[in-house]
Each structure stands twice: as C-alpha cells, then as structure tokens.
Amino acid sequence: MAIAATADPFAPDPIAKVPELAAERPVVWPARTHRKLANGLEVVLVESHTIPKFTGELYIRSGNANVAKTAPGLAEITATVVRTGTEARSSRQIEEDLRRMGADIGTSAGADTSAISFNGLTEFSSDLLKLVAELAQQASFPQDEFERERRQMIEGLRIERTTPSFLANERFRRILFGAHPYATIAPTEAQVNEYRLAQLPEFYRAHYRPGDALFIAVGDFSAPQMMEQIDRIFGSWKPAEVPPAASAALPELRGRHVHLVHLPGAVQAQVLLGNHAITRKHPDWLRLALANSLYGGAFNSRLIMNIREQKGYTYSPRSGVHALRQHGYFSVHAAVRNEVVAATLTEMFYELDRMRALPVGEDELSDARNYLSGVFSLGLATQDGLAGQLSNVYLNQLPEDYLETFRQRIRALTAADVLTAARKYFDSPNDVIVVVGDREQIADQAKLFGPVTEYDAESI
Amino acid sequence: MKPLHISLESTKLENGLRVVVSPDRTAPVATVGVYYNIGFRLEPRGRSGFAHLFEHMMFQGSEHAGKMMHIKLINSSGGVLNGSTHYDVTNYYESIPSNALERVLWLEADRMRALKVDDENLRNQRDVVKEEVRVNVLNQPYGGFPWLDLPPVAFRNWPNAHNFYGDFADLDAATLDDVQQFFRTYYSPSNAVLLMIGDVTPEEGFALARRHFGSVPAGPPQPVADVREGPLDGLRRGEVEEKFGTLPAFAVGYRAPERRTQDWYAAAMLDQALHGGRAGRVYHQLVLEKQIAVDTGGGIQYPVGDLFDYNGPTLLVSRVLYKPEYNSEQTLTAYDAVIDAVRQHGIERDELEQVKVKFRSEYVSSLEGGHGGSIPRYGLMHYMACFTLFDNDPALVNSILDGFLQVTPEQVRSAAERYLDPERRAIVFRRPSKKGAA
C-alpha cells in the first residue's frame, strides 16, 4: 500500500520508531482511616470523589471452610438468606428500599469469608449503612425464603455440573486438598437437601460478630463523618467469641496423576493443572507473583504467546496464584480443542520447566516488573479498584504500607528471585492434572501424562 | 442531585478523525480507545463472524509493529489492552500509566495506517477464534442464549439476522484479501474516533493526536448499507437444543424503539422496572413470588450490549430459565401476566421514582468503571465513542440522563402497550436434550 507520509524511502521516518516512555508521574495512595470500634469491628475508609457514590464490603472472617465437615456450603446459603428478611423488613421491602436508594447489595460466602458488599449513592449513605447493619445483626431467616433459596441453590448446582470450568476446579481442589476443608468448593445436592433452617441462624449468631469482621468503604464521603456514622450504626453490634476455622493436614502429592472428568458431548477439553503454593503473607509472595506473570499471568507471558499466539490451541489460557487464608496454590488452565490435549500439556510443562531450569533474561524481567507495577496503579483510579486493593491488604493482614511499597518491592526483584520461586512453587514433577471433556476424544492423550482416574460430573 | 458535569473537549483532524479528551487527574493513568464505526452487523455475506475475526487480526501486526509487538509494548509499559466487537462498533483500548500515552497513540496510529499480516497470522487467529466460540457458546450451558438465538428468528434482513460469532465454514473461507479489503473499507480515520481519558489535558491530547494520526490518509467514504428491517409483524417462534444445561428456558424479543426518541427513554425506564435486579417485576413475580423460574434477566440488546451502544434495529429482550416441573406454556402465561399488567396499568408513580434513582446510580457507575475496575472509565469511553459516531456529540454523555429522568408513568404505559405486544414478538425456546438429575 502506498502511504503518503512514508512515500520517500530515504526520508527520515518520524513514525517508524516506538516513542520512549515519558517521565513517570508519582503514584500517591490515598490516606486511609483505619480504626477499631469499641466492639472490635475493624473499619477502613478511603475518600474517592470520582462519582457521587460509595462502595464497600462488610467481611465476616468465617466461611464455608468453617462448616465443611458438618454442612458444606452452609455459609453460602446463610449469606444468601441473610438478604431475604430482617426483623424490620420483608424480602420485598429490602429490594424496594435498595432500588429507592439506587443501591446494590450482594451477600456471599467463600472458603474463608462471608461478605455483605454494597454500593450506592452518597445522598442515601446513612440509609444504606443502616440496612447493611440490619442484615449483619438482625437477619430473620424466614422459612419460605429459605426453602426457595435452597431450591435455587440446587438448580444452580445442577447447571454448574454441566460447566467445564466448574467441574475442573471442583476435581482439582478435591485432589489438592484431600481431607482439608478447602477440598470442597460446592456442596452436593444431597447435602443441600439435608440443611435444616435452624442451622442458618446458628451459624449466623456464632460467626457474624464485630470482633471477627472488617468494614471497608471507599467513596464520595468525608472520612471523619463516615466514621462517626459507622460508630453510631454499628456500635451496638454485640461482640462474642467466634469459633475457629477447621483445618487438616494437606495430602502429600507425589508424581503426576491425571484426573479425567467425563463430560459426554463436549466439543472442547478443559485442562487444569497445578500444585500447592503459599499464602499472601508468605515472604515469597511477590517473587511467585512475578514468576507467574512471566509464565502465564499476563497477555505477554510465555505460555500465552506459545499456545495461543504461536500455536492457536486456545483462546484464554492463564496461570494464577490463588491465596486462601491457610494455604495457597498455583494453577494453569486452558480450554483447548480435543485434538491438542497432549500437545497443550506438553507445552504447559515445557514452559514450567524452562522457568525452573533457566534464569529469565534482563529485558523480559524488566518488562514483567513494569507490568506488575503499572497495572497495580490502575487500581487507584476507581472506587472499585481501590476497594479491591484495600480488601487484599486488610483481609490478609498485610503491612500497613503494603500499597505504598508494592512498586519498589517489585522493582527490586531479580532473575534469581524468579528462578527460586519457580523451583519452589512450579512443582511440575508432582502436578495434579485435571482434564474435563468427552472421554472418547481425549482419554488416549491424557494417559500419556500419568496414571488416569476417571470420574463423571456427579462423582464425589 | 447535581447535574452531571464530566469535563470533555473534542476536535476533528483534517483526515476526518474525531478526537475526544476527558481530563481527570484522579490517578496518573489514562484509558485510550479507538472506535471504528463498524461492527458485526455489516460484515460481508458468506463471512459470518468476520468482523470479530478481523478484530483479532488487528493485534497481529501493523506497519512498524510486528506480531506480538502491540501486546508486548503495552504490557511492558505497565498497561493492559483488549478489543471487542459489537453490533455497530468495534473498539481497541488500553489502560496505562500516563507516561506511556504517546507510545499507545503511536501503536494505534500505526495500525490505523496499515495492517501487516500474513496467512500464518490468519490461520492462527482463526484457530483462536474457534476456541473462543467453543468456550463461550458450543461447550457451555446456555451458550449464546439468547444473543445468538433471537436475531435469526426476529429479523429478516441478513445484517441483523445472521450468526454474529460466525459459522465455522465461513470462518474457514475467510482470506487475507478479505482482511485487507475490510480494513480498506472501514478502518479509516473518517470512520473512527480516538478517545483519551484520565491524566492528559485536551491540549496535550490534541497535539499528540495530530502528531501521530494527522498523516494517516483519509480513505474512501464508507459504503451505505441497508440495514432496514420491516416490523416484527407477527409471533415468530424458534427452538434451539440445549446440550448441557438442565433447565428449560425461553427468551422473548420485542422490537426496541429508535434511539433518542421519547419511546426509547420510556422503554429504558420500563426495562428497569421489568428487569432491574430482584425488585424488577419479572424476577419478583416469576422467581420470588410464583417460584416458577430460577433466573430471569433482560434489557435492550441483552446480554451483550446495552441501551447506548447500537445504531440499528435491535431487540428488547427477556430471558427466563424455569423449573422442569413447569411447561413452557405455563411459564409463558405467568410471564405474559407481568407484561399484560404493565401494558394495561403502566407502573406506579413511586415505582417509577425508584427506577429512576436506580438508573441514575447505575449510569454513573458505568461511566466510572467497567471491567471490574481494571479499565478505568471504560463506560465513559464507550458511551462518548458511541455518541460521537452515532450522534456526532460526545457531550450527550452529560445530558442524556435528563431525558430518562423526565419520563412520566403515562409514557411508560404507552411504550409498554406499543412495544411489548404479545402478537408481535419473537420467542426462542431452549429445550434440554437430557433430563435434569431429578
């Protein structure tokens, strides 16, 4: 194609060269107001006046891991039913009040935490906080709401059992965590049917307590005034001793094993592999984060360039480090066409082993450090982004200056740090391998990577 | 409440490229987008899915930045990037620390100037796109439901009615010539808008735009396409097999009013009253009260677009997943009772007031964030781009809200009566091929 601006091949071409980066502008994290109320509730507030709204989370530091042995998923259904009624408001009233305030509330539970998340217009902040406080203290657990939500949960689980990524995660966590509560990501239908209504308020009264809770809010408010409001609204929440989370030894996983979940009619295979790693509090966390970013945690990473951009096996491969409170794990996943399951696993291991064997070059290292450091600062620009960063810091009880020092700590990391982390936490010789797909299409390829155990979508 | 006042300035370069800058010093970061006024509605016949495949090709190499360079240069500057294909626009965007702003503009200008791709790149991305279609549609419960299922039933004109993600045979048939032809036809500055949002002043932004985009040739005018669609003049029904999911489902599509008409403002409030969360009438009646359905949702262009980002015939959609002990007739009857009620009685004044507050609240949130906070001001960029390309007025982002807040209960009722006609709609049933575990 002829292009006017570059028609003369001998003229210096102002557009042929990549512009250098300009001088970096300083990244300043906003001031936090961090306090404990008299009843033990930990409060973190940050002002952010981008829009006339505010957003936040009330975290309860108990979740499904606390009940994995007695009633898996009980924390989740408790959270779900919390929003369906209080001593003062019916389910319908709650939903209409939220709409009247332009607000959203979400109630949920993961392995380690339950949460009431909220966002709304500043002009109604006091009303919304009152509703959050009501849900945290005076949920009424109506029988009919519980029965409906139980059925909803069962129907939701049935659909999840047809979803490849869910089936892969479920199997992976079972193998990786064995007898530990983290092995269960969702209850079975039978377990949901066994819930009794009385178990919900029992869990709620034991765990929804201020001394074990964390309140984070970011938004268009004055922090001192917001703190006064929170003190007034949440100050009467009664403290009580909270039962500790359950635990158990992790299984020793030696050698590679393949776990094949048969999904009849699947036209693609979901591949997932990984191993035990560390929590966010571990001193190696940033080393591992950087190693992960180089391996498969960024678009520009080795795995994605290899199996997507060079070979076209998959659309969305990714690796990640996942931190739970007691343990963490590293995993790699990709949804690939049936014919290339073996080829994909080969490349995943090749790239893992390359990270374990050879130091990363200085340019690649520098690019990855820039990536982690730059992307971290994008979180500053939105209320949601800030709330997410604060949740990381305070939920994991990281140092108070974590945000401020993150970028300099990333920049101090060396090729030796990456190599050390890869050798410790990319445990390729002992990886758990899960493949979800149609057995007829993929079993022969899967068995090349270790002894195979087969399951179906309903297997426990 | 105070009226919205988002600061923005716009200009137009000699080659026709429109430029919008919205300064915001909250953080030393910026979001940059280039939007082209072409989406999957206007891809060539026999080439379904091509607009999206083409979007992938835009990351495969341009005049001075070869394959992988776009991705490498943005990531190594501390930023993230992506692109997406919609009905009537395709976007390419980056969020970056603001010291990388010029580098991003250089990259975007380079790929607006010339695409440098080969057969190997096309083969590679065709494979990637097929896996994308499998992971999102063919290997997922309720994949593509109903955004791929409704248009072929509701519409008659191919641009509005075809498979937007692409039949694999059509993806296979695409050639490098098609790629360059599509690029020459639609990817010119006069068919695009460049947006910069965040840590940049209008003076800086305009100067950088001129430096990098000023010499891009204007290109030929875009062909005029006929996307007209006759009225949805009857009850049109379709069936799609649900290969994985355990619940039966249906989706209903009504023709939506033209953008920025009185009925459109009213229909947006009606939509919020029907489909807005758990208080919405459809969810409240079908899931919470009658307990026939397990999940419901809906909206204009639901679930892949919204009220603002289309510019042609589109649908107001409801989607219902229901319990297997009910049949489709019973469920449809319960759904129709909700629709009949708003057609006859409209909505209550207090309900309309609630809906307006919720709408306003969601609108400002969507401007601020988007993509879970990873792309700051994605929504602001997206709406300013659409208002520029469709209406030549990015400042509508500030004033458009007024039209919604002035809607009256009578206008809502009238829009419901006119548009939610049970005799003029499309319904697609998703029937599970295997029974649930029960």
Task: Evaluate whether residue B223 is within a structural domain.
Answer: no
- Quote the tokens at residue A273: 């592999």
Residue B108, chain A, CB below 8 Å: the answer is no
Flag if A299 and B279 touch (Cβ within 8 Å): no
Distance CA A203, CA B194 (A): 53
N-term to C-term CA, chain A: 61
Is the pLDDT confidence value at B1 over 90?
no
Instruction: Evaluate if residue B2 carries a pLDDT over 90.
Output: no
Q: Is A82 left (phi over 0), alpha (psi -120 to 50) or beta?
A: alpha
Distance, in Å, from the CA atom of B213 to the CA atom of A344, rounded to the nearest integer, reads 41
Residues B379 and B275 in one domain: yes
Contact A156, A73 (CB under 8 A): no
Complete DSSP assignment for B48-108: TTHHHHHHHHTTS-BTTB-TTHHHHHHHTTT-EEEEEE-SS-EEEEEEEEGGGHHHHHHHH
| CA–CA dist B13, A451 (Å, integer) | 64
Q: Considering only the beta carbons, identify the residue of B64, B365, B376 that sits closest to A381.
A: B376
Q: Does A266 touch chain B (CB under 8 A)?
A: yes
Question: Is there a contact between B436 and A51 if contact means CB atoms under 8 Å apart?
Answer: no
The Cα–Cα gap between B109 and B111 comes to 5
Residue B100: list chain A partners with CB under 8 A.
Answer: 21-22, 374
What pLDDT, on the 0 to 100 scale, is given for residue A13?
57
Residues A128 and A201 reside in one and the same domain: yes
B346 in the same domain as B199: no
Chains A–B, number of C-beta pairs less than 8 Å apart: 251
Residue of A nearest to B3 (CA): A52
> Do A209 and A305 fall into the same domain?
no
Q: What is the pLDDT of residue B3?
A: 80
B2 domain residue, yes or no:
no
In a mutational test of the B interface, the residue from A161, A373, A378 whose CB has the highest number of chain B CBs within 10 Å is A378
Asked, for residue A271, whether it belongs to a domain, the answer is yes
User: Domain containing B306: what range?
Assistant: 235-432
Q: How many domains, chain A?
A: 2
pLDDT for B176: 98
Mean pLDDT value of segment B231-238: 96
Based on the domain organization, do A314 and A377 belong to the same domain?
yes
Give the pLDDT score at A16.
77
For residue A108, what are the domain limits? 33-234
Of A92, A159, A305, the CB nearest to B141: A159
Q: Say yes or no: B25 contacts chain A, CB-CB below 8 A.
A: no
Q: Do A224 and A292 belong to one domain?
A: no
pLDDT band per the 50, 70, 90 thresholds, residue B34: very high
Chain A CB contacts of B76 under 8 Å are 300, 366-368, 370-371
Q: Do A384 and B369 touch (CB under 8 A)?
A: yes
pTM for the full model?
Answer: 0.96
- CATH number of the domain residue B174 falls in: 3.30.830.10
Q: From chain A, pick out residues whose CB is under 8 angstroms from the CB of B124.
A: 309-312
Q: Is the pLDDT of residue B98 over 90?
A: yes
CA A328 – CA A289 distance, rounded (Å): 12
Closest CB to B368 among A6, A51, A266: A51
Tokens of B6: 């988002």
| Whether residue A227 is found in the same domain as residue A335 | no
What number of other Cβ atoms are within 10 A of residue A254's Cβ? 8
User: Does B243 lie in the same domain as B206?
Assistant: no
Task: Name the pLDDT band for B371 (thresholds 50, 70, 90).
Answer: low
pLDDT at residue A28 in the model: 94
The answer to whether B193 touches B35, Cβ cutoff 8 Å, is: yes
Of A50, A119, A373, the CB nearest to B26: A50
Judged by CB atoms closer than 8 Å, whether chains meet at A305 and B68 is answered as: yes
Which pLDDT belongs to residue A12? 43
What pLDDT, in 10s, does the model give residues B135-194?
999 999 999 999 999 999 999 999 999 999 999 999 999 999 999 999 999 999 999 999
Mean pLDDT over each residue of chain B, to the nearest integer = 96
**pLDDT reported for residue A99:** 97
Mean pLDDT, residues B42-56: 97
- Read off the pLDDT band of B232 (50, 70, 90): very high
Residues of chain B contacting A337 with CB distance shorter than 8 Å? 127, 130-131, 134
* A383 contacts B369? CB cut-off 8 A: yes
- For residues B321 and B250, give the distance between their C-alpha atoms in angstroms, rounded to a whole number: 7
CATH number at residue A274: 3.30.830.10
Rounded to whole angstroms, the Cα distance separating B382 from B351 reads 29
pLDDT less than 70: residues of chain A: 1-14
Window A:202-241, CB contacts with B under 8 Å: none
Instruction: Name the residue facing A300 among B75, B110, B138 (closest C-beta).
Output: B75
Position B373 pLDDT exceeds 70: no
Domain membership flag for residue B221: no
Number of folded domains that form chain B: 2
In a domain, B218, yes or no: no
Mean pLDDT value across residues B1-11:
90
Determine the pLDDT at residue B370: 66
Residue A460, pLDDT score: 78
